[in-house]
């Protein structure tokens, strides 16, 4: 009997989803990351095929787990959302070959004092090489915004950012002396989570007050039916005066 020796199986490539480092190095950087990510998520809340992530490992090449970057915020148009829309699409990292080869089109980086020029230059080369179309770097400490847009030869610097509108996201950038302002396509300014929660609470209160007013008004109309009948108005006249159907007036009329 001849013994068949099986060749060794190729070891599975592991794609880590964490490097043990914090999402941000300070509260300012973290606040900007969360604000940009959440506002873009809300902007595309009704589109199931826009994936937005913060501090997620992006592997562009299968089998090459050393080729990786972690954008502060990345936007992928044309790919399904994750948790909350389809849990099967929950991602521990973004493996591009499993996403029909679609690279993040828009990337944001928020600088902290620990970021070095060498580090940011490597990020620029990475995003240029692997297909990012729009790349924005904001330094909140210096209130400095830098940006690149993909042209024929790769990512090119955008020379003028005043009232710049993102080709992909349609959001407007307004660098002001007091800080960067971002605006939705409808002209509404980006808000932080506290501001959005406060606005949502106020909207719920207004909706509840309007509901109560509508209920009181409806009840008042229906309570008026017996009094109008005592004034010898016909069923049809009452229905027309109160904006009710003839059937509703008859049903609420005293027997």
**pLDDT > 90: percent of the chain:** 52
Whole-number mean pLDDT of the chain?
85
C-alpha dihedral, 120 to 124 to 129 to 134, nearest 10°: 140
Query: Cβ–Cβ contacts within 10 Å for residue 249, how many?
Result: 24
Q: pLDDT, tens digit, for every residue of 166-195?
A: 999 999 999 888 899 999 999 999 987 676
State the average pLDDT over residues 200-209: 71
State the average pLDDT over residues 150-170: 90
Q: pLDDT, tens digit, for every residue of 63-104?
A: 999 999 999 999 999 999 875 444 455 789 999 999 999 999
pTM, whole model, 2 decimals? 0.72
Residue 21 burial by Cβ neighbours in a 10 Å radius (0-12, 13-18, 19+): exposed
Distance between alpha carbon 189 and the CA centroid of its chain, in Å? 14
Q: Is the pLDDT of residue 3 over 60?
A: no
The span from the CA of 168 to the CA of 12, in Å, is 36
Which range, of 26-30, 87-91, 203-207, averages the lowest pLDDT? 87-91
- The listed range with the strongest mean pLDDT (16-30, 52-66, 212-226) is 52-66
pLDDT for 8: 44
pLDDT for 111: 93
């Amino acid at each position: 009997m001849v013994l068949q020796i099986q060749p060794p199986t190729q070891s599975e490539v592991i794609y880590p989803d964490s490097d043990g480092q914090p999402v941000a190095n300070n509260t300012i950087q973290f606040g900007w990351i969360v604000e940009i990510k959440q506002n873009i998520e809300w902007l595309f809340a009704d589109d199931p095929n826009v994936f937005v992530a913060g501090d997620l490992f992006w592997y562009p090449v299968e089998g090459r787990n050393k080729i990786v970057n972690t954008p502060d915020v990345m936007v992928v148009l044309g790919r399904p959302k994750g948790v909350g829309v389809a849990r099967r699409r929950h991602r521990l990292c973004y493996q591009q070959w499993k996403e029909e080869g679609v690279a993040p089109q828009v990337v944001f980086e928020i600088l902290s004092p620990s970021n070095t020029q060498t580090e940011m230059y490597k990020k620029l080369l990475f995003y240029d090489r692997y297909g990012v179309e729009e790349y924005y770097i904001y330094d909140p400490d210096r209130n400095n915004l830098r940006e690149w847009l993909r042209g024929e030869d790769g990512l090119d610097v955008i020379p003028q950012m005043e009232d710049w509108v993102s080709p992909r996201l349609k959001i407007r950038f307004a660098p002001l002396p007091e800080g960067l302002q971002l605006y939705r396509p409808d002209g509404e300014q980006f808000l932080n989570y506290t501001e959005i929660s406060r606005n949502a609470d106020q909207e719920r209160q207004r909706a509840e007050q309007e509901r109560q007013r509508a209920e009181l008004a409806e009840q008042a109309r229906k309570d008026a039916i017996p009094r109008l009948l005592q004034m010898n108005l016909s069923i049809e006249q009452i229905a027309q005066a109160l904006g009710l159907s003839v059937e509703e007036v008859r049903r609420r009329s005293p027997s």
